[in-house]
Amino acid sequence: MKNTYFLLSAFLFLIACTSLKESTKTIPYKIPVYAWVSDLNSLTDTELKTKFEFYKNKGIDVLMYHGGHDPLTYQRVGKIAKEAGLGLDAWIPTMVQNKTPEISSDWYAVNRNGESALEKPAYVAYYKFLCPSKEGVYNFLETMYDKIAQVKEVDAIHLDYIRFPDVILARGLWKKYGLVMDKEYAPYDYCNCEDCTNAFKSITGIDIKKAEDPSKIEEWKTFRYNLISNLVNRLSTKIHSRGKQINAAVFPGPGSVAKKLVRQEWNKWNLDTYFPMNYNDFYLEGTDWIGAVTKEAVTAVEAKKPIISGLFICPDPAKKRSEPDPENHGLLPEELEAAIQQSMQNGATGICLFTPDRMTEAHWEVFGNAIHKDFRYK
């Protein structure tokens, strides 16, 4: 009897030790990876499954999917993404909207020359920016995002173009558009509609239309930062009421870049996560710059919210030097690990690829090794 008891005790002890050993195994470290993806609506379910399994096997965890405004699109794509083990956030532009019967012509932003973004958009034809001071604009956006937030397969709403048009373009884009943007110029300075200028005057007593140089009036800049911030925070309250998260693609460096170029004071937005687009080539900078603006972002949110560093991939590395369009530039394979390292060492929670379909085999090889390195404490 004693021998039986001893053997049973020894057996149970071995099981306990084995369980303890299993429970204390170290899970291999992996950097959280997000990816901006679009143009999937035409793919069949089988094609989506193949693509999503490829993404998952390569190390991507969450898709930021741009699929339009139809909830059924996100339901279908989201279901297949979930089956592949991927998260899905609905990536839907905010202030940039084409004219539809739901959107009044009067809702579009107006530049300092009195020109509507609907009729004469800045830079490119799709830059049809809405004015954030219009209650109709907010109601339209809330309804649009609320419908998508109710889709079970959607984990979060991902805002984009949540800003004014670039009052100053990133330095790397000047040549493309034939501009020298050494200051704020009237054709690119939004919004100067009656609603905005009258509201500003009622708050500050300043008639901005009579200002010799409106760009020197700090209160006018702050007023417009606040218009965007207030709109975002109202949307945040609505989306959170649905039990979903809300995040946004934002310009890098909330103090050094975002406020100056597009009037985004995004560190004052009540979001769950921030995705600064740290596209260094647009600013004629190297990978060290990615580290600097990541550190600035983490500091700006007091390290209380996740910062996901957006990385812009070069789709054709061999032609980068001869490619005239900077929007076809981006990180070369030999730069990718440094960009990831700079992001993580300076406090990012993860990275986001723009886009996985721009990645070459050489990119994937570097990426596959880099995402399993713990750069956080080096």
Residue 219 has a CB neighbour count (10 Å cut-off) of 13
The confidence band for 8, taking pLDDT boundaries of 50, 70 and 90, is: very low
CA angle 266, 268, 272 (to 5 degrees): 80
Complete DSSP assignment for 225-255: HHHHHHHHHHHHHHHHHTT-EEEEEE-S-II
Query: What CA–CA distance (Å, rounded) separates 298 from 199?
Result: 33
pLDDT at residue 27, rounded to an integer = 76
Residue 22 has pLDDT above 60, yes or no: no
Task: List, in order, residues 6 or more apart from 194 with CB less than 8 Å away.
Answer: none
Residue pLDDT, tens place only, 254-302: 999 999 999 999 999 999 999 999 999 999 999 999 999 999 999 999 9
Alpha-carbon 305 to chain mean position: 14
61 within 8 A of 35, measured Cβ to Cβ: no
Which amino acid type is present at position 109?
A
- Sorted by where each begins, the domain ranges of the chain are 28-370
337 within 8 A of 378, measured Cβ to Cβ: no
Residue 375 has pLDDT above 90, yes or no: yes
Residue pLDDT, tens place only, 146-188: 999 999 999 999 999 999 999 999 999 999 999 999 999 999 9
The confidence band for 222, taking pLDDT boundaries of 50, 70 and 90, is: very high
Alpha-carbon 96 to chain mean position: 15
The confidence band for 377, taking pLDDT boundaries of 50, 70 and 90, is: low
Residue 2 has pLDDT above 80, yes or no: no
Query: What CA–CA distance (Å, rounded) separates 56 from 343?
Result: 21
Q: Which CATH class is domain 28-370?
A: alpha beta
pLDDT at residue 345, rounded to an integer = 97
Coil, strand or helix: which one is 348? Answer: coil
Q: What percent of the chain has pLDDT over 90?
A: 92
Residue pLDDT, tens place only, 66-97: 999 999 999 999 999 999 999 999 999 999 99
Residue pLDDT, tens place only, 115-135: 999 999 999 999 999 999 999
Which amino acid type is present at position 195?
D
Residue pLDDT, tens place only, 31-68: 999 999 999 999 999 999 999 999 999 999 999 999 99
Query: What CA–CA distance (Å, rounded) separates 304 from 293?
Result: 17
C-alpha R_g of the chain: 24
pTM across the whole model = 0.92
Q: Strands, E, within the chain: which ranges?
A: 33-38, 62-66, 87-93, 156-160, 245-250, 273-276, 308-312, 350-354
pLDDT at residue 378, rounded to an integer = 56
Residue 141 has pLDDT above 80, yes or no: yes
